[in-house]
Every structure is written in structure tokens, then in C-alpha cells.
């Protein structure tokens, strides 16, 4: 039976320390979150970000644009925020409506205010094995969680299912930098089960229920990044928790595993950017 990777407790521990740090700042960091449209999941994420920032004494502002906003208008706003010295961190919530180029938007954010680590500059740094201004939040949260439980990455076979720019791709590089052997699987991967069976650490970030206990190696570590509502309205992850729990040595629950760590990393990144700037 597995031990739980408790992201909720670790979040509380890290944010308590972070609040003490922020309390000592005379001027506080300011995080601006841009939300385009009314995607219900994005709205919940953005509200959580704002609420957590406020609890820490970090200034936060949410700018909510209708989905009809043009790319040019959005880029003008980002430019304004880049040039406003009182704004220390900028986040554009993804996904964006189809008529807006995500690449152009990410490219417009000043790298020193890029709290997600998603700009081409910071991604380029990460992919060339250099230190970006900050690391992307979900991968960073996963590494913090594994580290808390003293789970070693060096020499381990890490299998990541999902190759998104938010999780799979940056996580693969961060794991490589920690000397893991990394395999990235995706929708075209053949014989997924044969590969997942060889994972010492399995990370699934797909957003649908695809991993069952029988696909895992006994004693492996399971990190479940997926979160969605099933047909009965129950919050679920990518991994069938009951069967995986019997096989794994550690498993992150949904909710309460990776989700709280993403928001923790966002707060850490907000403070790191602020410290770089002052």
C-alpha cells in the first residue's frame, strides 16, 4: 500500500514560511493575472491565485477581458504592465481563445516578470540546461513534493505521460537536469503500458483517466497531475487511485496532491521575481 504525497500539508508549511518573508518586505510584490473569457475552470484557478496571494500579503490584481478582445489589445496591455515598475509579476491564464496567438502573448511578457516561466527566453534557458528566471509552476511543485518525501531522481526512470508546455515538456527538462532518465509519452505512443511498467516514477498529465494499477511497476512513485470531473461530478485524476494505491510506494491524491503545489510554486515565483527586481 502506498504512502500519500500530501501536497496540501506541504503547501501550508511552505506558505507559512513565505508569509513571514513577505511580512518583512516594506514594499510588497504585485502579481497581475490576465484572464481572457469565462472558462469556468480558469476562473476558479485565477480566483484561487488571487486569494492565496492576498493571504500572504502579496498585492494581486485580476484583469478579466471578454473573449472578443483582440490580440493587439492584449499585447498593448502586457506592454503597459511590462513598463509599470509597480507590477512585479505577470501571468496570462491559459488557454486563450483561438483567435489569439499564445506564442505572441508569451513572447510579449518581459522575462523578468514572467512568473510562469513560459516566455521563449525562460523556456530556452530551461531547455539549454541553464537557469531560467523562474521554473514553471506545476513542474516546480512536483519536484518540491518529491523532495519533501526524499524521493531521489538521479538515475531513476521517469515516465511522463503528456507533453504540454505547461507540464510535460518543462518537467522532462527539469527531471533531466536532476539526472533522471526521462521518457515522454503522448497520444501517439504505442504500447503505453509496456513503457509505464518500467517507470520508477510515473507522472501523468493528460486530463483523462488513463492509468490503472496494472500498468505500474510494484513500488513505483505515482504523481497524478490530471484533474477533472467525471460523469458523476466527482473530482478525479488521470490515475485510478484505488488500484494504483495497492501497487505504488507513493501516490499523489486528486485533489490535495499536485494542485496545491502549483499554487505554492506560483507564490514562491512571485516572491523570487520581486527579489530579483529590487
Which residue lies nearer to ligand GUN by CB, 138 or 264? 138
239 DSSP assignment: B
**Closest distance between ligand GUN and the C-beta of residue 78, in Å?**
13
**Closest distance between ligand GUN and the C-beta of residue 33, in Å?**
8
Cα(131)–Cα(242) distance, integer angstroms: 38
CA 17 to chain centre: 20
Q: Which residues are known catalytic residues? A: 49, 93, 116
**Cβ-closest position to ligand GUN:** 94
Cα(204)–Cα(224) distance, integer angstroms: 5
Q: Which residues bind ligand GUN (CB under 6 A)?
A: 91-94, 116, 137-138, 166, 262
**Closest distance between ligand GUN and the C-beta of residue 214, in Å?**
30
In terms of DSSP bridges, do strands 30-36 and 221-224 run parallel, antiparallel, or are they unpaired?
A: unpaired
CA dihedral sign, ordered 148, 150, 154, 159 = negative
| Nearest C-alpha neighbor of 261 from the set 206, 214, 203 | 203
Which segments of the chain does DSSP mark as H helices, in order?
7-24, 40-56, 71-83, 102-108, 120-127, 137-148, 168-177, 192-196, 241-247, 258-277
**Closest distance between ligand GUN and the C-beta of residue 170, in Å?**
10
Q: Count CB neighbours of 136 within 10 A.
A: 28
Amino acid at each position: 500500500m502506498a504512502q500519500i504525497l500530501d501536497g496540501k500539508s506541504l503547501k501550508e508549511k511552505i506558505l507559512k514560511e513565505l508569509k513571514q518573508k513577505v511580512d518583512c518586505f516594506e514594499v510588497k510584490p504585485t502579481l497581475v493575472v490576465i484572464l481572457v473569457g469565462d472558462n469556468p475552470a480558469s476562473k476558479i484557478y485565477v480566483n484561487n491565485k488571487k486569494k492565496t496571494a492576498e493571504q500572504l500579503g502579496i498585492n494581486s490584481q485580476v484583469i478579466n477581458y471578454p473573449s472578443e478582445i483582440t490580440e493587439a489589445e492584449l499585447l498593448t496591455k502586457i506592454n503597459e504592465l511590462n513598463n509599470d515598475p509597480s507590477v512585479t509579476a505577470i501571468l496570462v491564464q491559459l488557454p486563450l481563445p483561438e483567435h489569439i496567438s499564445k506564442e505572441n502573448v508569451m513572447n510579449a511578457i518581459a522575462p523578468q516578470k514572467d512568473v510562469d516561466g513560459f516566455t521563449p527566453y525562460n523556456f530556452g534557458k530551461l531547455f539549454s540546461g541553464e537557469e531560467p528566471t523562474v521554473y514553471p509552476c506545476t513542474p516546480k511543485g512536483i519536484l518540491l513534493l518529491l523532495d519533501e518525501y526524499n524521493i531521489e531522481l538521479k538515475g531513476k526512470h521517469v515516465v511522463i505521460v503528456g507533453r504540454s508546455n505547461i507540464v510535460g515538456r518543462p518537467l522532462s527538462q527539469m527531471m533531466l537536469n536532476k539526472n533522471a532518465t526521462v521518457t515522454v509519452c503522448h497520444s501517439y505512443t504505442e504500447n503505453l503500458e509496456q513503457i509505464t511498467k518500467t517507470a520508477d516514477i510515473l507522472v501523468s498529465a493528460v486530463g483523462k483517466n488513463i492509468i490503472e494499477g496494472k500498468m505500474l511497476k510494484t513500488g513505483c512513485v505515482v504523481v497524478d497531475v490530471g484533474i477533472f470531473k467525471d460523469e458523476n461530478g466527482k473530482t478525479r485524476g488521470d490515475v485510478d487511485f484505488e488500484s494504483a494505491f495497492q501497487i505504488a510506494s507513493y501516490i499523489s491524491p486528486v485533489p490535495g496532491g499536485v494542485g496545491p503545489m502549483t499554487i505554492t510554486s506560483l507564490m514562491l515565483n512571485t516572491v523570487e521575481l520581486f527579489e530579483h527586481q529590487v
